[in-house]
Amino acid sequence: MAETALRLDASNRASRVVAYATNLKTADLAFLLKQYGEPMDLDARELAATFDLERLTPAFYANPYPTYRALRETEPVKRLPNGSYFLTRYDDLVAAYKNTRAFSSDKKKEFSPKYGASLLYEHHTTSLVFNDPPAHTRVRRLIMGALSPRAIAGMEPDLIALIDRLLDALAAKGKVEGKVDLIDDFAAAIPIEVIGNLLDVPEGEREPLRDWSLAILGALEPVIGADAFARGNKAVGDFLTYLEGLVAQRRARPGNPDRDVLTRLIQGEDNGERLTEKELLHNCIFLLNAGHETTTNLIGNGLVALSHHAGEKRRLIENPALIKTAVEEMLRFESSNQLGNRMTVEPFELGGTALPPGTPVTLCIGAANRDPAQFADPERFDVGRTPNRHLAFGTGAHQCAGMALARLEGAIAISRFLARFPDYALAGEPVRGGRVRFRGFLNVPCQVG
């Protein structure tokens, strides 16, 4: 198999590797990537020229970074076959993030043909992240008030207790079964409990939250089929029905607004500013989705990256004070959220390319976070990297409202995991989630002791 791949004609190998990769079994593809890398040595211009966000290969899903590098070096403002543009340079992303006059986050025009008159459309065009000022400003202000530094600091003791309980459970399961799953048994459980606590969702009612989140966010992929659409739409409907009951209970019996984000959002600000009922429900869904995906991927990606970089793993174990810079490096090196989107609302030029009004633009965070113009030796994983002005949480007006909480969860989870299981090792090939927008794992088999 490897010999066959190596005999590909050099003059046409980029397109042929792409075609060949689509027919590879997962194990075969993993072998090729391990031995020879995803087409690192292919002609960069041809690799960039064949890139289409709506036609991605298994090789790309396994390792998108060589493609991102080829695009950044040869076509940093890439026009895709559907007429949209794909940006890969750090400075171009910052320009788009910060120019809210020229680049809109409102998705009504973009999502209407994709979702039609569906609950998915209603959700994604109501939530904080896909709106412009003044609606974005008003909703963000209320959410940020509920996620104040004081509120987040108050969560730390409960977060430590939660993580220690999960670590105890990992140790017990590891003794009985020989291995654990870093995602199901650890990384995914943390944000679900944290967001469940923030909204004061009763313990016995939290089981559906992760599946709802995965289905709704899965429908944000560039291309989705009928099944993914149906799952996402049903998840929004089920989640709304659940929240309607929870909100009614909370209106009747308010919680402590200093700890209960749902009560805080219901009550609004002292000046009388309130969310509408639709805004309230959909932004509760948004809080779960944003907090769940970002943190699960941060913890899972981080622990896998450390397992693949033994020197950096040992360095962090021996110098636990590096945990804050290590978390930032994990966010940069394997960004939980790889893509963002904007729509131009006035003419704008990037790198000599004119973007007319109404142009959809994809911001490739994963590519920008490995831009050598911003990061020295960007392909190197360095737990002590500083400065590290990555874009994993975006920047500007839409910078992630929950980034302080995600950082806290990541730092406590990873540092306490390493202290408890310094000799952990992967016990099989990790399984990626098969998504391009959100880069993480579905399963990571692991031995903890």
**pLDDT in single tens digits along all 449 residues of the chain:** 333 333 333 333 333 333 333 333 343 344 334 433 444 445 788 889 999 999 999 999 999 999 999 999 999 999 999 999 999 999 999 999 999 999 999 989 889 999 999 999 999 999 888 888 888 888 888 788 778 888 888 889 999 999 999 999 999 999 999 999 999 999 999 999 999 988 889 999 999 999 999 999 999 999 999 999 999 999 999 999 999 999 999 999 998 887 788 898 898 866 777 888 999 999 899 888 888 888 999 999 999 999 999 999 999 999 999 999 999 999 999 999 999 999 999 999 998 899 999 999 999 999 999 999 999 999 999 999 999 999 999 999 889 888 999 999 999 999 999 999 999 999 999 999 889 999 999 999 999 97
User: Is 81-447 assigned to CATH 3.30.420.40?
Assistant: no
d(CA 68, CA 87): 10
pLDDT at 137: 84
The predicted structure's pLDDT at residue 335: 96
What's the pTM? 0.87
The answer to whether residues 416 and 167 touch, using CB atoms and an 8 Å cutoff, is yes
Terminal CA-CA length for the chain = 36
DSSP state for residue 337 in the 8-state scheme: B
In this structure, the strands spanning 85-87 and 77-79 are: antiparallel
Do 91 and 85 touch, CB atoms closer than 8 A? no
371 phi and psi, to 5 degrees?
-80, 115
Task: Write down how long the chain is.
Answer: 449
DSSP state of 438: B
- Residue 147: per-residue pLDDT: 82
The segment(s) of the chain belonging to CATH 1.10.630.10 are 81-447
Phi, psi of 36 (to 5 degrees): -125, -10
Whether 168 contacts 421, CB under 8 Å: no
Predicted local confidence at residue 269, as pLDDT: 67
